Homo-oligomer: A and B are copies of this chain.
Amino acid sequence: MKNKPEPPHCESCDSRPKSVFCALAGNEMHDISSNKGSSFYERGQVIFHEGNRINGIYCVNKGKIKIYQTGSEGKEQIIRFAKEGDIIGYRALLSEGPLSASAATLEESIVCFIPKSFVLNIIQNNPNFNFKLLKMLSKELGEAARIITDLAQKPVRERLAESLLLLKNTFELDEEKNIQVKLSREELANIVGTATESVIRLLSEFKKDKLIDIEGRNIKLINIPALTREANIMD
């Protein structure tokens, strides 16, 4: 974790319009911008670690991040992802407890750190921001509930299909339908909640069935409707 020479400015941050901070007033923005820190992370570096305490929140300026918990056997379970414009670590800040999850980069990333006092100040004084936060938490809670139901009820094959679609929705596809994030088979297994070998086998099956194409860690979704059917998604 090296400090970059030139920290990005919130005012000119590409991610801001997409983030919860879009609701900030000019002076609030400036306040944060001049008090935040900013760090560059290599691929695979840990930003924060479960059980620790942090005094602020992180905002992703650039890059892709996984948020994960460590299970009782030491196995990692990926809970969700964060990308440009997303904030992470707010759950621990709001609940005032230790971090319930860790965060690590999936590629080179720049992440800003906003001290607690500034965040709380905005929460206290900007009902608009406040409401945006509530909405964001609500959305995540809904997503978490759906994940719980799927983990409890769907077989591994369906869950893998669904995870691929989740990655598509989170990180988008490029013009050739490649998922715009590179994960190891083990990381995929840690989303799906299964063994690495099972993911490897099922990915091969999906490829054989012409649902996807694989080249190393690059996954191309060549038949999304069929994949959606595999995932058995209703909604």
A residues apposed to B, CB below 8 Å: 69, 71-73, 75, 77, 79, 90-91, 94-97, 100-101, 123-124, 127, 130-131, 133-135, 137-142, 144-154, 192-194, 232-234
Contacts and interface: CB of A to CB of B under 8 A. Distances in A.
B153 A72 contact: yes
23 contacts: A69-B146, A71-B153, A71-B154, A72-B153, A72-B154, A72-B233, A77-B148, A77-B152, A90-B138, A91-B138, A94-B135, A94-B138, A95-B138, A95-B142, A123-B131, A124-B127, A133-B134, A134-B134, A134-B137, A137-B137, A137-B138, A144-B148, A151-B152
A234 B69 CA distance: 12
Contacts of A100: 142, 145-146
B142 A141 contact: no
A144 B144 contact: yes
Contacts of A233: 72
B146 A148 contact: no
A72 B232 CA distance: 7
Contact of A135 (B95, B149, B193): B95
